[in-house]
Amino acid sequence: MLGLQSKKTQFNLNPNTSPSGFSEPDRFQSVKVSILGRYMLADYSEYPCQIVEMSPGSAKIIAPVSGQIGTRIIAYLETIGRIDGIITSLCDGGFIINFSASARKRDKIAAQLTWLANKDELGLTDERDHGRFVPDFRHSAIILEDGRRYNCKLLDISISGAAVELSVRPAIGTIVTLGRMQAKVVRHFENGIGVQFTSAQEMLSIVQQNLRLD
């Protein structure tokens, strides 16, 4: 059971109980969720998926195509971002994976699961349309309409936009090119800007390819 402290669920990274079907070494606290995303199998084929149960160390994934036990899975999930894992068992309609993640990544997942577990009860909201995550690479470039080019740092990305650390502040509404993606400046913050892509992409992997400069 999830512990409640002042009406707020707090995830515990110490070993605890895990749902039926999750294998060792995952014994982290888990929660029922509904998180949409996409996953990639070893042959690079991509499919939509839904996470229905998750802990900082594992996830139960409902998916149209399953790999074999021991297969590595890469998934891009709304609110969570990229996860890597190994299929440890198969279940009705999908499979269960154990994450290949550092302690820092597990801490981040625990914080995100805490937010998901409490957002309805505490009235928390996320104003952004799509789940965002920190990309595998951080450096890109922005080109303004007049051709000026500025190096920038990607803070987070989604299928519809990005937050960028930048030394200049193009006016809200300005059309820019971020990497190879056309976008519009929609907000300013202390160290940069938020942009919305002219057309949302279907897969986060495509966004990453188009923002990478090499």
The tokens describing 200, both together, are: 């949302």
- CA distance linking residue 60 with residue 166, whole number of Å: 38
CATH homologous superfamily of 4-122: predicted glycosyltransferase like domains (2.40.10.220)
Per-residue pLDDT reduced to its tens digit, 95-119:
999 998 888 888 888 877 877 776 6
Length of the chain: 214
Q: Which residue has the higher pLDDT, 135 or 186?
A: 186
Q: What confidence tier does 204 reach under pLDDT thresholds 50, 70, 90?
A: low
Per-residue pLDDT at 95: 95
User: Residue 141 belongs to what H/E stretch?
Assistant: strand 139-143
Residue 10 CB contacts under 8 Å (≥ 6 apart), including other chains: 3, 114
Q: Which residue has the higher pLDDT, 200 or 37?
A: 37
100: closest CA among 70, 62, 126?
Answer: 70
CATH homologous superfamily of 139-211: predicted glycosyltransferase like domains (2.40.10.220)
Per-residue pLDDT at 77: 83
Q: How far is CA 148 from the centre of its chain?
A: 31
Average pLDDT, the chain: 78
- Asked if the domains 4-122 and 139-211 are classified in one and the same CATH topology, the answer is yes
Per-residue pLDDT at 36: 83
Q: What confidence tier does 16 reach under pLDDT thresholds 50, 70, 90?
A: very low
- CA distance linking residue 199 with residue 182, whole number of Å: 8
Q: What are phi and psi of 9, to 5 degrees?
A: -80, 130
Residue 13: other Cβ atoms inside 10 A: 15
DSSP 201: -
pTM above the 0.85 mark? no
Indicate the domain borders of the chain.
4-122, 139-211
Per-residue pLDDT reduced to its tens digit, 41-95:
888 888 888 999 999 999 999 999 988 999 999 998 877 778 899 999 999 889 9
112: closest CA among 81, 156, 154, 66?
Answer: 81
